[in-house]
Structure 1
Amino acid sequence: MISGHYAKNAARKDDSRTGSPRCVGDNLDRNLALVEELRAVADDLGLTVAQAATAWVAARGTDVVPLVGARTRQRLAESLGAADAELTEGQVARIEAAMPASGILGDRYPATHMAALDSEG
């Protein structure tokens, strides 16, 4: 995922996202633009981008649990701040409009990883 903390010019060489099809060339530019659209909605909700994303996942249903990945305790604490956020249907719709699945460019994983996911082979 490209979070609100990922910046095109600040990516470290050891950042695994630099090998993601979603984080190269025009895909990265488009996907970062979507993050900025999500940031505007998150700001209106009094949330960070990460909190809005986590709250959106939590709003998917009682059988869905957000899995939060964090490199630092600060990022973990930020994401955990979404635990108290209960989104209305309208707020969920605003998030989905800001970052529609159809608007995200690039495969989730590199082709070699995608091939390994095919267990039906």
Structure 2
Amino acid sequence: MAMSAAEYLADRVAGRHADLPENTAGSLRLDLRDGARTEHWYLLIEQQEVRVLRSSADAELVVRADREVFDRIAAGRLHPAAALLRNDLTVQGNLRLLLALRRLFPGPSGARHPHAASCGGGGR
């Protein structure tokens, strides 16, 4: 069974992420709706380090969606930009941080990093 978004945030997001640009800094709040209940996750990013807290404090970027949408993102089955275009999630604030959020979640299975693909790394 795939890991839920809450499990993924708690277990895998905190810490150093070398694939984040070094100049990325900011705060994000993820609001995971589950019926009438909303679970808040607060991410602080600075110098490729991510701190994960449970807080509903104001953030530079607030991302809201149903828990199922975040679960699909955490499983690598849905790209945040695709979810945004389909109105499956909403964002308010600094959209530059949405790109950082994408780097914190897994890509689809079988996907390769763009640099590896352009340099011929990996193949058929």
TM-score higher than 0.5 here?
Answer: no
By percentage of residues, which structure has more strand?
2
Higher relative contact order (CA 8 A, sep 6+): 1
TM-score (norm 2): 0.28
